[in-house]
């Protein structure tokens, strides 16, 4: 399947700010069953856009808008081919011993160790440990069987409520309230399985939502970016698990960036000079390439932030967008 993606992010500032420096991770990856056919990035006001690859091989574009401005608009257009694959077969998946051998080899340890350690948003807490105990999150059955069960348990244990947490919310917020968004559920699942010595990474990207009446309605918000995880399954490789929608495999998922957690792969991140109240709006459209060209829809995510002052640390949260 070939998908067309239109992702528009708009930042507004009142009063105008003097300078904005920003980096974005919006270009879909070309690896495995996915190939990015075309990609265009437009920035208004006009800026010189440069790019590099980060430590995970994600394409990062960055730019500096030096003049005074009250709005920054970033528009990314992509055409991506995603090859469908059958669901993972339990009969083909390896055992815990197979997994241990894979990650204990010299090359394996070099490749996987960062995906085995706690990270900024995916780390153990007392609330997580209690949740893990309830789920019997331990080395049992096979890695694939356990991950399949955890994927479903997270789906059933939490309500999907857009904007119920913040971009920098710890997992305890969702664990206490039993509600959250895809970013929270991905972090919870990663934090559950890494202590079991299963390499696991956070995936930032998009998901195509089918319109057919016979299809189960997806919980994740159409019109926003999405997040899920990939875990290393012995004999099968990296397999996608989407606890927000209780899906396994990624034939409708478009991978943009991989990281240890959200902190490595925010779609946008930056800072600006000047005291201002800012607002962030995001609109995402994913459609088959043979459908009419995607048009910009009203934003599905709008975030207002308080003015920054000399006493307020100038962190980059106001220029990050939470994954819904």
Are residues 129 and 107 both part of a single domain?
Answer: yes
Per-residue model confidence as pLDDT tens digits over 227-269: 999 999 999 999 999 999 999 987 899 999 999 999 999 999 9
d(CA 320, CA 324): 13
Would you place residue 290 in the very low, low, confident or very high pLDDT band (cuts 50, 70, 90)? confident
Are residues 164 and 251 both part of a single domain?
Answer: yes
Report strand pairing: 179-180 vs 34-44.
unpaired
Are residues 251 and 199 both part of a single domain?
Answer: yes
Beta bridge partners of 31: 34
pLDDT confidence of residue 314: 43
Q: Is residue 90 part of a domain?
A: no
d(CA 262, CA 120): 9
Whether 198 contacts 145, CB under 8 Å: no
pLDDT confidence of residue 63: 97
d(CA 161, CA 139): 31
Are residues 274 and 256 both part of a single domain?
Answer: no
Whether 22 contacts 63, CB under 8 Å: yes
Are residues 144 and 217 both part of a single domain?
Answer: yes
Give the CATH number of the domain where residue 314 resides: 2.60.40.2250
**Full residue range of the structural domain in which residue 196 is found:** 96-264
Q: Is residue 158 part of a domain?
A: yes
| Mean pLDDT to the nearest integer, 277-305 | 78
pLDDT confidence of residue 302: 62
Residue 125, C-beta contacts closer than 8 angstroms, at least 6 positions apart: 170, 171, 172, 175
Beta bridge partners of 176: none
- DSSP element (H, E) containing 240: strand 237-242
Place of tokens 């331990």: 138
Residues across the chain = 324
Instruction: Express the helix, strand and coil content of the chain in percent, nearest 5 each.
Output: 20, 35, 40
Residue 111, C-beta contacts closer than 8 angstroms, at least 6 positions apart: none
Per-residue model confidence as pLDDT tens digits over 69-126: 999 999 999 999 999 888 899 999 999 999 999 898 655 556 798 999 999 999 999 9
Report strand pairing: 179-180 vs 159-160.
parallel
Is the pLDDT reported for residue 67 higher than 50?
yes
pLDDT confidence of residue 94: 95
HSE-up of residue 22 (Cα within 13 Å, Cβ side): 29
pLDDT confidence of residue 307: 58
User: How many CB atoms are closer than 10 A to CB 231?
Assistant: 26
228 token code pair:
């899920």
Q: How far is CA 142 from CA 89, 94, 152, 249, in A?
A: 12, 7, 16, 17
Q: What is the mean pLDDT of the chain?
A: 90
Are residues 272 and 214 both part of a single domain?
Answer: no
Tell me how many domains the chain contains.
Answer: 2
Last residue of a domain, one of 249, 264, 279: 264
pLDDT confidence of residue 60: 98
Give the CATH number of the domain where residue 135 resides: 3.10.620.30
99 Ramachandran zone, left/alpha/beta (phi>0; psi -120 to 50): alpha
Are residues 253 and 282 both part of a single domain?
Answer: no
| Mean pLDDT to the nearest integer, 302-306 | 61
42 token code pair:
């437009």
């Amino acid at each position: 399947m070939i998908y067309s993606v239109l992702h528009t992010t708009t930042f507004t500032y009142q009063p105008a700010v003097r300078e904005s420096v920003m980096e974005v991770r919006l270009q879909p990856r070309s690896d495995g069953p996915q190939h990015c056919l075309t990609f265009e990035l437009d920035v208004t006001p006009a800026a010189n856009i440069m790019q590099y690859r980060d430590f995970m091989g994600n394409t990062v574009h960055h730019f500096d808008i030096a003049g005074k401005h009250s709005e920054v608009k970033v528009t990314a257009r992509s055409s991506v081919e995603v090859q469908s694959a059958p669901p993972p077969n339990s009969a083909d998946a390896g055992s815990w011993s197979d997994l241990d051998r894979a990650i204990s080899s010299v090359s394996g340890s070099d490749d996987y160790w960062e995906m085995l350690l706690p990270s900024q948003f995916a780390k153990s807490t007392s609330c997580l440990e209690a949740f893990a105990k309830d789920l019997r999150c331990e080395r049992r059955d096979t890695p694939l069987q356990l991950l399949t069960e955890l994927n479903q348990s997270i789906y059933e244990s939490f309500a999907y409520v857009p904007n119920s947490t913040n971009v920098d919310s710890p997992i305890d917020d969702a664990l206490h309230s039993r509600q959250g968004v895809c970013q929270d559920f991905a972090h919870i699942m990663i934090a559950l399985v890494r202590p079991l010595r299963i390499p696991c990474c956070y995936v930032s990207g998009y998901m195509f939502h089918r319109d057919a009446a016979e299809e189960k309605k997806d919980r994740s918000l159409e019109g926003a970016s999405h997040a899920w995880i990939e875990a290393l399954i012995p004999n099968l490789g990296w397999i996608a698990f989407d606890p927000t929608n209780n899906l396994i495999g990624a034939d409708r998922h478009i991978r943009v960036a991989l990281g240890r957690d959200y902190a490595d792969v925010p779609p946008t991140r930056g800072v600006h000079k000047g005291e201002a109240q800012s607002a962030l709006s995001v609109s995402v459209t994913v459609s088959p390439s043979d459908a009419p060209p995607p048009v910009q829809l009203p934003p599905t995510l709008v975030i207002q932030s308080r003015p920054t002052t000399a006493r307020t640390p100038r962190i980059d949260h106001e220029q990050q967008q939470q994954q819904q």
